Structure 1
């Protein structure tokens, strides 16, 4: 018997994909609006949320990279050739941008010796004068990441609504189909009914 080939990624890959997307979007949004809050407790707390979420994302990113190479279910790509190469290149670009943004964010937090919620200050490393250029590059690469992610989302929607090739469904959990089994009493009654109809 041939082994059934799934058309969906495994649940861990799907969960990490959507968790990554959600955290990246949240981090970008908080980073865009934080300086609109008044200086003091409000701004410190909003930036503290950004930094804390960023450090949590480091764990998610590391888990996703390890899982991508050693644990995930591998599915054949429906379009070989140039299309496959472009898709692989776009995924590599997304991973590279995410890693660069995260690395710059972590370095920035330690260069600043960031004070989290006015409760705990990170140890300060390096020249504090570097915080300005690091912040600039962190923001620039974050914007590039969001533009690339937007293009990735548009490509997924194109596959779903135009090509209708099932590519987007790979990142949606499989629906479990349950067949209700008749109970023993029902089977007995059906058997009695069958016998009485022949008498």
Structure 2
């Protein structure tokens, strides 16, 4: 694989940090309890921070070109990637809409107070959007993983290898 075919170390780091966080957050979100909520809120803030920096990184660094593939796959790949970035960025924002306007006194990591002012309307909108976006995010993650595995095991191309943490460029 040439350097132009693989992602930079920074891009790989952002991808895998975000991937681990998103998987943890999806698991935690679908299994939320009073005991785990404070961690979910805290890691949501970290996800938002990672995404802001990653989006800045992506705008300043060229991405390697996609390998040759049918046009429908190229459109699908770009669509899923853009939707993933959008949904992962919006998810903590929708979460903040909920917790900052909650009736309760939510805290992140047990120490960072998140409530600004109770507002049932904004809370309800945030709750709805967080739920819908979370399900869409799960679907996109599954599509993304399935596509990477399809490229690796069926097509046997370098699509997955170029994003693996220790793959050489």
Alignment TM class, shorter chain as reference: 0.7 to 0.9
Distance 1:92 1:148 in 2: 10
Q: CA RMSD in A?
A: 2.2
Q: 2:167 aligns with which of 153, 161, 174?
A: 174
Paired residues, what number? Answer: 164
Counterpart contact for 2:91–2:134, Cα < 8 Å: yes
Please give the TM-score of this superposition, normalised by the length of structure 1: 0.73
1:136 aligns with 2:128: yes
Please give the TM-score of this superposition, normalised by the length of structure 2: 0.85
User: What does 1:139-178 correspond to in 2, within 5 Å?
Assistant: 139-172=131-164, 173-175=166-168
- How far residue 146 of structure 1 moved from its aligned partner, in angstroms, is 0.8
Pick the structure with greater CA Rg: 1
Structure 2 gap ranges (5+) = none
Counterpart contact for 2:39–2:110, Cα < 8 Å: no
Q: 1:103 aligns with which of 81, 93, 96?
A: 93
Runs of 4+ in 1 over 3 A off after TM superposition: 4-7, 115-120
Greater relative contact order structure (CA < 8 Å, 6+ sep): 2
Structure 1 gap ranges (5+) = 36-42, 177-199
